[in-house]
């Protein structure tokens, strides 16, 4: 079915438009597509009228009988008109539904160009289509509004999510920064504690206060201080120490509190702030008193390595100064006790007696580690019967207490020796004396008795290294007969005497364990070295220079300059 129309004016154009609308409605074209078709066709028709001439509109349906087809419209200049326009050809195709709606055919779709009623009806139908389009448009607007609200809410949610993500990012960055700060603070704290522990170990291992004073600046400069000044109150007369001191140093000495002198507040815990020092106006000063349990020893004055100290570094320096004060005080007390003990011990060491036919030589060397003064002693004295008693002993421990106990044992032995008693008997009485006097203190000793009218040596030992005897022919023997136990142990004992035949030219060597004992090898190798040293002398060397022989014995046995124990040596030589 095809409908062809000539269009010469606006009435023909309106009728053609109405015919296209009715044909589309006849074949069931939806109102939206129908409105789109008539709107597009109307726009083309207005353009054709504007161009002028005669135009031809051909409307037709293709494939309607096969169930679904298309409405085809062609608008082109009319070839029959003498004044045909020169416009372009236009055509369009609108798909039809699967089945046509029932209706009339033929001329029912024709709209006469001069029938106003038909045109009006077509106009009303077009309004109905427009109403349907407007309804669909309203539905779409409502849907668009709905989606717009959803989109707005989604945008709000996205914005809120972005805000939360930003906040989470900031919180994470702050957490990372806090973690880095905490890690740095922990590392700095570990560094300070390590330094404090190492520096304290250095200061406390020395028992020489001068060395502590010397090492303290070496520990602090340049890491924690640019300069270090140490003022010890009892060294005021030392010409190497300045007499003019900053006011903060003097105030720290008077108050016993740390002082901080600078042109800005220090803000340090437990430290008083003062104006900058007149002597050093260009740098801050931290003045910390060297406190002890009794009284301040002096003041440590520090200047920072930079512009100022970190507060935690300042707290660490104050603690180190406190420990340094205690270390200096301990060293001074140790030196005082050592001097007293050494003076006491040297005062008690006997001046060796002179005996015809018998030469004596003795050596005493204090230890170089620790208290330095122990309980080692030697003694030699005559008895009423003309015999000579020689003794060497060792009281356990070091220090003033050991020196005092040594002097008491020495005095007690001389008192017991007034009675006629053998070396074993004398040691037995010393054992009982020490156990009653000091139950927790022990000692070792060897006593040897020489008689000018006899060629017999009588000796006894209590827990002490065995005497060594050099025979006139140069052979050396260790007198290792069974000794008694240590003096003072909770044990009842009777210490036995031992005798040995000696000839002129013989040399008896008494010694303490500091001469032969080494931690890494024990005592036997040391006794072997002592025996070798005694056997190395010629026959006349001991007769002529026993003092020199004593020095030559000590030299190979004490090759190390550091000694952990006292050394006593007593040589008794029978003239050849």
Cα pseudo-dihedral 49, 50, 53, 59, rounded to 10:
-40
CATH at 562: 3.60.40.10
Q: Which helix (H) or strand (E) holds 365?
A: strand 358-365
User: How far is residue 273's CA from residue 271's CA, in Å, rounded to a whole number?
Assistant: 7
Q: What is the DSSP letter of 265?
A: -
Kindly state whether residues 362 and 273 are assigned to the same domain: no
Longest dimension (CA), the chain: 184
Name the β-bridge partners of 377: 393
Q: Closest Cα to residue 235, out of 290, 283, 158, 180?
A: 290
What is the DSSP pairing of strand 456-462 with strand 468-470?
Answer: unpaired
Query: N- to C-terminal Cα distance for the chain?
Result: 167
Domain co-membership, 241 together with 104: no
**Domain-embedded: residue 488:** yes
Are 317 and 396 in a shared domain? no
Angle subtended at Cα 376 by Cα 492 and Cα 459, rounded to the nearest 5 degrees: 55
Which pLDDT belongs to residue 498?
Answer: 95
Same domain, 252 and 110: no
Contact 300, 321 (CB under 8 A): yes
Domain-embedded: residue 187:
no
Is residue 106 within 8 Å of residue 135, measured between CB atoms?
no
Please state, as a whole number, how many other Cβ atoms lie within 10 Å of the Cβ of residue 396. 16
Distance of CA 65 to the CA centre of its chain: 95
Residue 48 lies in a domain: yes
φ, ψ at 221 (rounded to 5°): -95, 135
What gap in Å lies between CA 268 and CA 340, rounded to an integer? Answer: 43
Nearest to 301 by CA among 263, 247, 264: 247
What pTM was computed for the model?
A: 0.53
Rounded to 5 degrees, what angle do the CA atoms 500, 513, 414 make?
60
| Helices marked H in 237-377 | 247-255, 311-348
Interior/surface letters 469-484, b for 16+ CB within 10 angstroms, e for the rest: bbeeeeebebbeeebb
Q: Which two tokens stand for residue 90?
A: 């236009």
Residue 331 within any structural domain of the chain: yes
Tokens of 162: 């972005």
- Domain count of the chain? 3
Question: Which of 284, 318, 341 delimits the end of a domain?
Answer: 341
Number of H helices and E strands in the chain, helices first, is: 12, 19
Burial class for 378, CB neighbours closer than 10 Å (0-12, 13-18, 19+): buried
Residues 320 and 401 in one domain: no
Q: What is the per-residue pLDDT for 359? A: 92
CA distance 505 to 528: 21
Q: Domain for residue 389, yes or no? A: yes
Last residue of a domain, one of 306, 325, 341: 341
Do 305 and 372 belong to one domain? no
pLDDT at 296: 84
State the SS3 of 155-170.
HHHHHHHHHHHHHHHH
pLDDT at 180 (0 to 100): 92
64 and 213, same domain (yes or no) = no
Assigned domain for 148 exists? no
Do 281 and 314 lie in one domain? The reply is yes
Per-residue model confidence as pLDDT tens digits over 417-470: 987 789 999 999 999 999 888 888 899 999 999 987 788 999 999 999 999 999
| One domain, residues 214 and 362 | no
In angstroms, rounded to a whole number, what is the distance separating the alpha carbons of residues 427 and 421?
A: 10
Provide the CATH number for the domain around residue 221.
3.30.450.40
Bridge partners, 427 (sequence order): none
Nearest to 24 by CA among 96, 74, 83: 96
- Distances in Å between the alpha carbon of 54 and those of 13, 42, 49, 80, 83? 11, 16, 9, 9, 7
Q: Are residues 234 and 322 in the same domain?
A: yes
Q: Is 317 buried (19+), middle (13-18) or exposed (0-12) by CB count in 10 A?
A: buried
pLDDT in tens, 167-186: 999 999 999 999 999 999 89
Q: Are residues 403 and 540 in the same domain?
A: yes
8-state DSSP, 107: G
Distances (CA, A) of 323 to 209, 212, 233, 563: 13, 11, 17, 28
The range of the structural domain enclosing residue 254 comes to: 206-341
Establish if 112 belongs to a structural domain: yes
- Record the tokens describing residue 346, joined without a space: 């040297």
What is the mean pLDDT for each group of 10 consecutive residues in the chain (576 residues)?
A: 85 87 86 86 89 89 73 86 64 80 44 60 72 81 89 89 92 92 91 91 87 91 90 68 80 91 84 88 90 85 87 90 91 80 67 88 77 76 90 82 82 87 94 87 93 88 95 92 91 93 93 86 89 88 90 82 76 89
The pLDDT assigned to 576 comes to: 73
Task: Compute the half-sphere exposure of residue 245: CA atoms within 13 Å on the CB side of its CA.
Answer: 23
Whether 193 is covered by a domain: the verdict is no
- Domain final residue, candidates 89, 123, 143: 143
Regarding whether 214 and 129 lie in a shared domain, the answer is: no
């Amino acid at each position: 079915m095809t409908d062809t129309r000539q269009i010469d004016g606006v009435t023909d154009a309106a009728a053609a438009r109405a015919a296209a609308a009715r044909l589309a409605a006849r074949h069931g074209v939806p109102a939206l597509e129908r409105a789109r078709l008539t709107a597009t066709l109307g726009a083309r028709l207005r353009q054709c009228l504007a161009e002028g001439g005669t135009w031809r509109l051909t409307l037709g349906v293709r494939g309607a009988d096969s169930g679904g087809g298309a409405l085809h419209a062609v608008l082109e200049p009319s070839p029959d008109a003498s004044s045909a326009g020169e416009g372009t050809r236009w055509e369009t195709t609108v798909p039809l539904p699967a089945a046509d709606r029932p209706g009339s055919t033929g001329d029912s779709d024709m709209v006469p160009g001069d029938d106003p009623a038909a045109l009006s009806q077509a106009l009303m139908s077009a309004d109905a289509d427009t109403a349907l389009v407007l309804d669909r448009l309203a539905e779409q607007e409502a849907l668009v509004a709905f989606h717009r609200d959803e989109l707005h809410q989604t945008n709000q949610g996205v914005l809120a999510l972005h805000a939360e993500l930003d906040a989470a990012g900031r919180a994470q960055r702050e957490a990372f920064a806090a973690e880095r700060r905490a890690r740095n603070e922990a590392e700095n704290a570990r560094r300070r504690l390590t330094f404090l522990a190492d520096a304290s170990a250095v200061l406390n291992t020395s028992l020489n206060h001068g060395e502590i004073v010397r090492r303290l600046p070496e520990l602090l400069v340049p890491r924690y201080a640019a300069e270090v000044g140490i003022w010890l109150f009892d060294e005021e007369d030392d010409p190497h120490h300045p007499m003019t001191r900053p006011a903060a140093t003097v105030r720290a000495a008077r108050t016993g509190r740390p002082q901080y002198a600078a042109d800005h507040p220090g803000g340090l815990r437990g430290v008083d702030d003062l104006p900058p020092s007149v002597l050093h106006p260009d740098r801050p000063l931290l003045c910390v008193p060297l406190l002890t349990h009794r009284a301040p020893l002096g003041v440590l004055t520090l200047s920072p390595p930079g512009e100022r100290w970190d507060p935690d570094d300042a707290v660490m320096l104050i603690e180190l100064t406190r420990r340094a004060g205690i270390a200096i005080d301990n060293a001074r007390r140790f030196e005082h006790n050592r001097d007293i003990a050494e003076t006491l011990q040297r005062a008690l060491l006997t001046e060796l007696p002179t005996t015809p036919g018998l030469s004596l030589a003795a050596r005493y060397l204090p230890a170089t580690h620790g208290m330095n003064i122990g309980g080692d002693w030697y003694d030699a004295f005559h008895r009423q019967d003309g015999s000579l008693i020689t003794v060497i002993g060792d009281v356990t421990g070091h220090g003033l207490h050991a020196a005092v106990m040594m002097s008491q044992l020495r005095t007690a032995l001389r008192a017991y020796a007034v009675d006629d008693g053998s070396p074993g008997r004398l040691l037995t009485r010393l054992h009982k004396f020490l156990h009653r006097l000091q139950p927790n203190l022990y000692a070792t000793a060897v006593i040897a008795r020489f008689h000018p009218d006899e060629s017999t040596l009588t000796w006894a030992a209590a827990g002490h290294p065995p005497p060594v005897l050099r025979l006139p022919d140069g052979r050396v023997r260790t007198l290792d007969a069974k000794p008694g136990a240590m003096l003072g142990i909770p044990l009842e004992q009777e210490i036995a005497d031992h005798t040995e035949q000696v000839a002129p030219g013989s040399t008896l060597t008494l010694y303490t364990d500091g001469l032969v004992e080494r931690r890494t090898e024990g005592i036997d190798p040391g006794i072997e070295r002592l025996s070798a040293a005694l056997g190395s002398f010629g026959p006349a060397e001991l007769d002529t220079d026993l003092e020199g022989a004593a020095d030559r014995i000590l030299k190979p046995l004490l090759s190390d300059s550091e000694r952990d124990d006292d050394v006593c040596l007593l040589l008794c030589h029978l003239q050849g």
